Structure 1
């Protein structure tokens, strides 16, 4: 575990970014070929922010975190912590700690000794070790379990010990590399809430690496969605979910329906796609599209209303045939093949009726508000 300084940050540091990456590139040599893991990332993470690096395996998110931690040196670019360039500074000299998916607890030590280990190693006075360790165990809700060994704890409790051990040293930032990956679904969801609570209480910058979109959306202040070594989109969870900047982001974050069509008419801020006499989609856009231009758009499944009768003269309404119905308890998912040949997923809440709206083979209408259509590409409206 990385050692950190005990001295509190000077007041002036509060205005500095916690972490800044400037043109960071990381290239490996594999079998004589250059592998570009990170391709020129510029990124600023604020003090006290819960920031997530999100993306599929091999996108460069873990490499980026290891560069921040000092376990990897960038091929090009700079890494700054609290405004200070730490490129080339070894990991144990950087004021950050890291928590991995494998908690790496000492099995022969008690919970208390595991958490106190780093403080004792740095020669902190005994009374201070006791005070700070007890304080941290209280924050992670492990008070009263100080004498237990790791094998006597649940997976979630072991993870909280690993967090306490990293946080007790008071690092400037805590880096977490998929720490919930070994937990079952229910415990993982509970720990998401716990992690956010702990981060809020200690006020330390968290940088979280995950491939799980739900985790990132639930916990983060901001998210960087990575793909093939670059950041595809950076923003708040709501911005990224509601307004994906690319086809990749739209498909990777949650479930999204991707539709295409040709523009039948266009105004200053909207374009209209027509599929049939009564089928149309109105899309907010930036600029005027030429008639006949192809337009790609996305709409989220929970934004769509499914019904058997025509909804009227709506701005967004298309027809289709139900191909699958999946009951999930709180909701029912409908797969619909549209008249244009696209496959669309619709989520409906099961609050008002115990019966399905439609069954396989039914002809249905899908409708939604124009603001829930989002054009993919550089001309999409914000």
Structure 2
């Protein structure tokens, strides 16, 4: 799959995101952003097309430098696109300054006023707008309840934990009732346990207030946990835009397969086709095994790249090899099977991870869930067979 094909697939209409005739909450049409660095032009965002529905939790996910924060800053109005158009609720805001856009932004640095109480921090924006005093009190009290900070109104930031400070920053943004909230890696400063707890809280808060959240992160776990849809970015383009399950289970490119979770990338030459599944078969012979992958249109001689997730694979001791007899056939007619040698065993409590080197020289990772009835599994140096259902093999594109 070429980058052009991937880009075409990400030109998502609001109807694709939500069954609604309303305009998208946020829409980017053909957005490009270029910077000049030492006389050279650097393209941070390339021909971006995104439609984010009203009330959606949408994540921009990718490594540092992929263009996700630049994209968010364009939505907020802090960066002007080199080309393209930005729409908020159907209105062109490409040239509208940030303070006139009905969005608020929360950063990794909470930027709370240390000399102010929690109440005063949250009320700051409302008071700047000369909101009536009673309304300020009512709205601040309500939003502190939503973010779980009842009883904290009189405290100062230094008296709060990192997670509580993050909630104050969130309340300060939400109290202004923006139609969309932009969050730029807001959990990055928290420790792992607190970050995981806040992921659940953020999703709960988003559901409760019912506004659009656009979340920038490099953490795949955050994106998978909270998002309705995820745009996986790489080098300024969207490689895949879909629901979390679709992105994890059906990665469209090599980059997505490698960036989202752990994925085994295998390659080979198609030797035949399987009429029953319309799949392509890579046969490595009796000593190597075979892979079947749904790949309509592939023919013998075609090169194919495949991904399979570690938890989809079952590891079976190679009894036949130990007995010096013919190896067993795959467990089912359409199963995949590869022969290999265990190179490493890592016990992780809830699971055991196996690194296996196949007879063809590929490195494969297998996750095996531990249970109370588990006997001792294969050890380093032992011969094994790797089995998985062909439905869990996916042909991917070669986009880097």
TM-score interval (norm. to shorter): over 0.9
1:286 positional shift = 2.3
Deviations 1:135-163 (A, max 9, x none): 00000000011111111111100000000
1:285 aligns with 2:282: no
Pair 102,355 (structure 1): closer, same or farther in 2 beyond 3 Å: farther
The worse-fitting range, judged by mean Cα deviation, of 33-42 and 260-269 is 260-269
Aligned to 2:361, the other structure's residue is in SS state coil
Residue 142 of structure 2: which of 93, 117, 135 is its match? 135
Structure 2 match to 1:272: 281
Query: Structure 1, unaligned stretches of length 5 or more?
Result: 1-12
Residue 338 of structure 2: which of 318, 332, 335 is its match? 318
Residue 357 of structure 1: which of 347, 370, 377 is its match? 377
Structure 1 match to 2:222: 215
Aligned to 1:368, the other structure's residue is in SS state strand
Counterparts of 2:247 and 2:104, CA distance in 1: 28
Number of residues of Structure 1 aligned to a counterpart in Structure 2: 365
Kept in 2, the 8 Å contact 1:66–1:72? The answer is: yes
After the TM superposition, which residues 1-382 of structure 1 pair with which residues of structure 2 at under 5 Å, given as runs? Answer: 15-267=22-274, 269-277=278-286, 279-287=289-297, 289-309=298-318, 310=328, 312-314=330-332, 315-377=335-397
Aligned to 1:26, the other structure's residue is in SS state strand
1:264 positional shift = 1.1
TM-score by length of 1: 0.93
Deviations 1:255-312 (A, max 9, x none): 000001111102462011111216111100122x221221110000000001104574
1:356 positional shift = 3.8
Pair 75,122 (structure 1): closer, same or farther in 2 beyond 3 Å: same
Structure 2 match to 1:10: none
How large is the Cα RMSD of the aligned pairs?
A: 1.4
Kept in 2, the 8 Å contact 1:311–1:367? The answer is: no
Counterparts of 2:376 and 2:100, CA distance in 1: 60
Counterparts of 1:129 and 1:192, CA distance in 2: 28
Counterparts of 1:63 and 1:101, CA distance in 2: 15
Aligned to 2:99, the other structure's residue is in SS state helix
Counterparts of 2:91 and 2:368, CA distance in 1: 51
Counterparts of 2:167 and 2:21, CA distance in 1: 27
The worse-fitting range, judged by mean Cα deviation, of 365-374 and 264-273 is 264-273
TM-score by length of 2: 0.89
Counterparts of 1:89 and 1:370, CA distance in 2: 52
Deviations 1:311-345 (A, max 9, x none): 74442011111111111111111100011101000
1:377 positional shift = 2.3
Aligned to 2:44, the other structure's residue is in SS state strand
Deviations 1:195-221 (A, max 9, x none): 000000000100000000111000000
Aligned to 1:133, the other structure's residue is in SS state helix
1:368 positional shift = 0.4
1:353 positional shift = 3.5
